[in-house]
Amino acid sequence: MAEKKTINICLIGQKFMGRTHSNAFLKVGKFFDVPLLPVMHTICGRNEAELNEFKETWGWQNASTDWKSAVKNPAIGLVDVGTPNHLHKEMAIAALEAGKHVACEKPLAGTLDDARAMRDAAKKAKKSKTFVWYNYRRVPAVALAHQLAKAGKLGRIFHVRAFYLQDWGGPGVPLLWRFQKKFAGSGAHGDLNAHIIDMARFITGDEITEIVGSLAETFIKERDIVSGGPKGGIAGGTSGGAKKGKSDVDDAVLFLARFKQGAIASFEATRLATGNQNKNGLEINGEKGSIRFNFEDMNYLEFYDATSDRKTQGWTKIMVTHGGDHPYAANWWPDAHIIGYEHGFINQTADMLNMIAGKDPVVPMPDFEDAYKTQQVLEAAIVSATERRPVKIAEMK
Gap between the Cα atoms of 136 and 6, Å rounded: 26
Q: What angle do CA 237, 339, 85 make, to 5 degrees?
A: 40
Give the sign of the dihedral formed by CA 123, CA 149, CA 356, CA 371.
positive
Q: 315-348 as b/e, with b when 16 or more CB fall inside 10 Å?
A: eeebebbeeeebbbbebbeeeeeebeeebbbbbb
Nearest distance in Å: CB 16, ligand SOE: 6
x/- string (CB under 6 A) for ligand SOE, residues 118-157?
A: ----------------------------------------
Query: Of 88 and 153, which CB lies nearer to ligand SOE in the complex structure?
Result: 88
Gap between the Cα atoms of 268 and 354, Å rounded: 34
Nearest distance in Å: CB 91, ligand SOE: 17
Query: Of 195 and 292, which CB lies nearer to ligand SOE in the complex structure?
Result: 195
Give the interface size with ligand SOE as a residue count (CB under 6 A).
6
Question: Footprint of ligand SOE on residues 195-214 (CB under 6 A)?
Answer: 195
Half-sphere exposure of 249 (CA within 13 A, CB side): 26
Nearest distance in Å: CB 361, ligand SOE: 20
Question: Footprint of ligand SOE on residues 13-42 (CB under 6 A)?
Answer: 16
Nearest distance in Å: CB 53, ligand SOE: 21
User: Quick one: 74 exposed, middle or buried, by C-beta within 10 A (0-12, 13-18, 19+)?
Assistant: exposed
191 binds ligand SOE (CB under 6 A): yes
Gap between the Cα atoms of 203 and 281, Å rounded: 12
Question: Footprint of ligand SOE on residues 237-296 (CB under 6 A)?
Answer: 278
Query: Of 70 and 269, which CB lies nearer to ligand SOE in the complex structure?
Result: 269
Query: Of 16 and 315, which CB lies nearer to ligand SOE in the complex structure?
Result: 16
- Which residue in the set 26, 234, 319, 355 belongs to the binding site for ligand SOE (CB under 6 A)? 234
Instruction: Tell me which H or E stretch contains 130.
Output: strand 130-133
Nearest distance in Å: CB 19, ligand SOE: 11
166 binds ligand SOE (CB under 6 A): yes
Q: Which residues bind ligand SOE (CB under 6 A)?
A: 16, 166, 191, 195, 234, 278
